[in-house]
Structure 1
Amino acid sequence: MNPVVRWFHQLGSPPYFDRFAARWAPWAHASAVLVMAWGLWGALFDVPADYQQGDSFRILYIHVPAAWMSLFVFGLMAFYAVIALVWRIKLCEILAMACAPIGAAFTVITLATGSIWGKPMWGTWWDWDPRLTTELVLLFLYLGVIGLYQAIDDRRAAARAAGLLAIVGVALLPVIRYSVVWWNSLHQGQTIRLFGESTMDASMVQPLLWMIVGTKLWFIGSLLMRARADNLLRESGKDWVRKAATENAR
């Protein structure tokens, strides 16, 4: 068997995943803190003030990575949910449901920082702008997935039901992504492109890239921690869990 394929098969084993998550989650979080600290330092002290927005634009370095993560995490959750529904892989159910609270947190950060940024720029904390409104709907979808998962006692049935909602909700992502293109709105158009030329000055991009990498690492650490906790809860009656608990207590 191909080594990569064998590793994925091993990762589907609850004891193996528990050891994997316990080992790598702290490293992911520690790396995230270092990378984001470097990005924030550059955003606050190296990047010049914007010629129109002054220093208020610096909230972009939190707002944009959080906004991108809010979409990325929901898409990943739906991806895991598809695998779980088609192939009945329990670990993918766990990973899908572990994505929801993390994605909801990123969405809250997006909405909060957007409102803070919007006050000096638009003169209001909130406007029913297409981008803001669809991002709020995304938060409600995250909360719907979390609520549905918690409302059903059978963990596997709950994960399948909540996963189906995530799959249906993924249709909202392109609407959020292209809302500033399809409708006239207060929200500024796309200034940063992963592919193609950005309209943002090159001197301002590097700290943003560090923040994007940092939020990805933080997500990986958080996903592993939440999935490990859910995995242990589901496997709580198994011998390997009792053995691991005994070893950790020593």
Structure 2
Amino acid sequence: MRQDRLTTGLGAATLLALGVAVALGLSAPLDVNQGSLVRLMFVHVPTAWLSYLAYGGTGLFGLLYLVTRQRRFDRLALASAEIGVLFTVATIVGGMLWAKPTWGVYWVWDARLTTTALSLVVYGGYLLIRTLIDDPDRRARVAAVVGLVGTLYVPINYMAVEWWRGVHQTQTLKLLGKIRFDAAPVYGWVLLVATAAFTLLYLYLLRVRATLAAREEEREERELMGDLAGMEVARG
């Protein structure tokens, strides 16, 4: 019951934060050059942040599993990877909707876009590997290593616009060196609220998905014990 109340409370806080972010985004002034298109930033940037957070979580939980061998960390790593893939797709779709009216095309093989697409290959492979290994402990170990290596995507993708200049704009929020926000301050506040809301969304989805994974794991163990019991009866 305590865990259910926590999940419910987290879900309610997420809905409230998302509602506030939407209201602020719709009331934000139009950009001089992009007009109402600037509002896509309030979804696109937090979505990209959530994918970074999720992939980072996959690596962190994988590392914790390797250190502790506690299965709950493996379940959290799986949940985080699935969330990361989902929001990477959302990031790509949002970026395409923004790119068409500004660049004239939906997609170019820019460094930022290319590395983003490659992350779907990496984490799609992560999820595929999990389906190919039956032994739970070996599956968790292999997945943890892949998840750790996969986290290299985050800094590479973030810095891609600096290392390989293309059509994609440089970071709106620069975190290395002198921190700088390259947009009007009013947009910064909206982005801050939206990013906080998406962070709550990640935590909520992580908790729900990990709970479902625990139930799936319990069902698999019951089925395995049933099969073993059946084999013992057959031998007897």
| Corresponding residue of 2:144 | 163
Mapped to 2, the partners of 1:161 and 1:23 lie a distance apart of 34
Mapped to 1, the partners of 2:2 and 2:141 lie a distance apart of 24
Mapped to 2, the partners of 1:222 and 1:191 lie a distance apart of 26
Mapped to 1, the partners of 2:91 and 2:149 lie a distance apart of 22
Does the 8 Å CA contact 1:74/1:170 hold for their aligned counterparts?
A: yes
Please, what TM-score do these two structures have when normalized by structure 1?
Answer: 0.82
Alpha-carbon distance, 1:20 to partner: 5.5
Q: Does 2:56 match 1:79?
A: no
Matches within 5 A, 1:1-250: 21-45=3-27, 47-193=28-174, 196-236=179-219
Q: Which moved more, 1:182-191 or 1:146-155?
A: 146-155
The one-character-per-residue Cα deviations of 1:87-120 (angstroms, maximum 9, x if unpaired) are 2121111111111111111101100000110001
Mapped to 2, the partners of 1:187 and 1:65 lie a distance apart of 17
The amino acid that maps onto 1:36 is L
Mapped to 2, the partners of 1:232 and 1:191 lie a distance apart of 41
| Corresponding residue of 2:233 | none
Q: What SS is found at the alignment partner of 2:173? A: coil
Mapped to 1, the partners of 2:154 and 2:69 lie a distance apart of 25
* CA distance 1:184–1:201, change in 2 (3 Å): same
Alpha-carbon distance, 1:191 to partner: 2.1
Does the 8 Å CA contact 1:81/1:164 hold for their aligned counterparts?
A: yes
Mapped to 1, the partners of 2:209 and 2:124 lie a distance apart of 16
Q: What SS is found at the alignment partner of 1:59? A: helix
Please, what TM-score do these two structures have when normalized by structure 2?
Answer: 0.87
Mapped to 2, the partners of 1:25 and 1:141 lie a distance apart of 30
* CA distance 1:146–1:20, change in 2 (3 Å): farther
Does the 8 Å CA contact 1:130/1:185 hold for their aligned counterparts?
A: yes
Alpha-carbon distance, 1:189 to partner: 0.9
* Unmatched 5+ stretches in structure 2: 223-236
* Unmatched 5+ stretches in structure 1: 1-18, 239-250
Mapped to 1, the partners of 2:71 and 2:105 lie a distance apart of 46
Q: Which moved more, 1:121-130 or 1:83-92?
A: 83-92
Alpha-carbon distance, 1:21 to partner: 4.2
Q: Which aligned runs of 4 or more in structure 1 are off by greater than 6 angstroms?
A: none
Task: Tell me how many residue pairs correspond in the alignment.
Answer: 219
The one-character-per-residue Cα deviations of 1:185-209 (angstroms, maximum 9, x if unpaired) are 1111122246723121111112211
| Corresponding residue of 1:3 | none
Q: What SS is found at the alignment partner of 1:235? A: helix
Does the 8 Å CA contact 1:27/1:221 hold for their aligned counterparts?
A: no
CA RMSD of aligned residues (A): 1.7
Mapped to 2, the partners of 1:233 and 1:213 lie a distance apart of 30
